[in-house]
Amino acid sequence: MTPPIIFGITGASGAPYAVRLLQQLTAAKRAVSLIVSSHGLRLLQIEMEISTVEELRIAVGAKGWDTYVKTYANEDRGAPPASGSALSAGMVICPCSMGTLSAISVGASRSLIERAADVALKERRKLVLVPRETPLSAIHLQNMLRVSRAGAVVLPAAPAFYHKPATIDDMVDFIVARVLDQLGVENKLGKRWDGTKAK
C-alpha cells in the first residue's frame, strides 16, 4: 500500500472542507494518518455537529474509514508521523489555524500535528496548509511567506466563482479539488477550466 497521507484538522473555520477531503481520500483508496486537535474537534462540533471521532467516522463513511484511516492523538509526539523514518505521501492540514501555521513557521513542534509538519518540511515531502482567515495581519502574511520559503504549499480556502457554483457543496468541492491536486490524488470534483464559460 502507498504510504499514508498525514491529515491534520485544527481549529480554523472550515470543517466541511476537512470532512469532504477525508471522504475523497478514502474513496480514492488512499491511506490516511489522521490527527484531530482539541480545537479541531470543537470546530467540527460547532460547524457540522460532529462531536466525537466516532461521529466523524460515520460522516466520512464507516467502511472507507475502517479500511484506510488510522487515528493518532495530537498529544502523542511518539506516534509514527513524528518521525522522518516513517514514510508518508505528504501531509495536509485542513483547515489550518493561524496558531498552527505560526508554530510550523518557527519549528515549535508542540504537538503531533506541528511535529509531523516539521518532519514533512525537513524530509522535503509535500506539506499543504489550508488557512481560512480574513483579514490577514502582517504577522499572518510573514508566517505564510516563511513556511512557503521552507517548502510548504499555502492553499487558502478561497473558493472561485468562474465555475458558477450553485451550492455550498460546489464551493467546498472547488477547494478540496485543489488540495487533492497538490497531493497527487486524482479527482473529478467539478469541471476544470478550459477557457469556456460554465453553463
Residues 132-163 pLDDT 10s = 999 999 999 999 999 999 999 999 999 999 88
Residue 199's pLDDT is 56
70-87: per-residue pLDDT in tens?
999 999 999 999 999 999
In a domain, 152, yes or no: yes
The answer to the question of residue 194 being in a domain is no
| Distance, CA of 122 to CA of 71 (rounded, Å) | 23
pLDDT at residue 135, rounded to an integer:
96
Per-residue confidence (pLDDT) for residue 55, from 0 to 100:
98
3-state SS, one letter per residue, for the chain: CCCCEEEEECCCCCHHHHHHHHHHHHHCCCCEEEEECHHHHHHHHHHHCCCCHHHHHHHHCHHHHHHHEEEECCCCCCCHHHCCCCCCCCEEEEEECHHHHHHHHCCCCCCHHHHHHHHHHHCCCCEEEEECCCCCCHHHHHHHHHHHHHCCEECCCCCCCCCCCCCHHHHHHHHHHHHHHHHCCCCCCCCCCCCCCCC
Say what the pTM is. 0.96
Asked whether residue 104 is domain-assigned, the answer is yes
Residue 137 inside a domain? The answer is: yes
Mean pLDDT within 6-29:
97
Q: Is the pLDDT of residue 198 over 70?
A: no
**Structural domain count, the chain:** 1
Residue 188 placed within a domain? no
Whether 69 is in a domain gets the answer yes
CATH of the domain at 150: 3.40.50.1950
> Would 190 be classed as within a structural domain?
no
Q: Would 198 be classed as within a structural domain? A: no
- Segments forming the whole domain that contains residue 125: 5-183
For the segment 93-120, what is each residue's pLDDT rounded down to a tens digit?
999 999 999 999 999 999 999 999 999 9
